[in-house]
């Protein structure tokens, strides 16, 4: 976990700290057990190929969880994730690097809440976005 981030430290347009993941087939099996998503496209290569896929694919929700981790790592223990919305745009494969990124789009104060809106996404090694979305976090203030 990073050091605590404060509302006053953020500027609109800045990029947040990225998170890099390389999911394995073992992680996919563990995610299937934890999430209840036992679709064979996530663990059975022959089944996935018969479905026209390039092989076993990473659960979209697991990639979405990586985006959530990126945000909670970035905001620190005193911040909290208020809203997370994602759309699936493509597939990730086990062993393939997934880089989660985000950019601050807006800052505002509402009812003593120090809110930061972000554009977020997950991408493949050559920049193809497989998830896109938005988030709102509430950060502590130095004041």
* Per-residue pLDDT of the chain in tens (143 residues, 90 and over written 9): 458 999 999 999 999 999 999 999 899 999 999 999 999 999 999 999 999 999 999 999 999 999 999 999 999 999 999 999 999 999 999 999 999 999 999 999 999 999 999 999 999 999 999 999 999 999 999 98
Domain count for the chain, please give it. 1
Question: Got the DSSP string for 77-104?
Answer: TT-EEEEEEEEE-S---TTS-EEEEEEE
CATH label of the domain that carries residue 36: 3.10.129.10
Inside any domain, residue 1: no
The size of the chain, in residues, is: 143
Confidence at residue 1, expressed as pLDDT on a 0 to 100 scale: 46
Inside any domain, residue 21: yes
Inside any domain, residue 45: yes
Inside any domain, residue 2: no
Confidence at residue 2, expressed as pLDDT on a 0 to 100 scale: 53
Q: How far lies 59's CA from each of 6, 42, 76, 104, in Å?
A: 33, 7, 26, 26
Range of the domain at 54: 7-139
Inside any domain, residue 41: yes
Inside any domain, residue 90: yes
pTM of the model as a whole: 0.93
Inside any domain, residue 107: yes
């Amino acid at each position: 976990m990073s050091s605590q981030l404060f509302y006053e430290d953020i500027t609109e347009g800045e990029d947040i700290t990225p998170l890099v993941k390389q999911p394995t087939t073992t992680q996919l099996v563990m995610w299937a057990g934890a999430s209840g998503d036992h679709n064979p496209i996530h663990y059975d290569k022959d089944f996935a190929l018969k479905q026209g896929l390039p092989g076993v694919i990473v659960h979209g929700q697991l990639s979405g969880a990586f985006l959530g981790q990126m945000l909670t790592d970035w905001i620190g223990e005193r911040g909290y994730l208020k809203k997370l919305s994602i759309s699936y745009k493509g597939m990730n494969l086990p062993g393939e690097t997934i880089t989660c990124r985000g950019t601050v789009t807006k800052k505002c104060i509402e009812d003593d809440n120090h809110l930061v809106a972000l554009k977020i996404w997950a991408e493949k090694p050559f920049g193809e976005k497989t998830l896109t979305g938005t988030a709102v976090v509430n950060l502590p203030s130095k004041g």
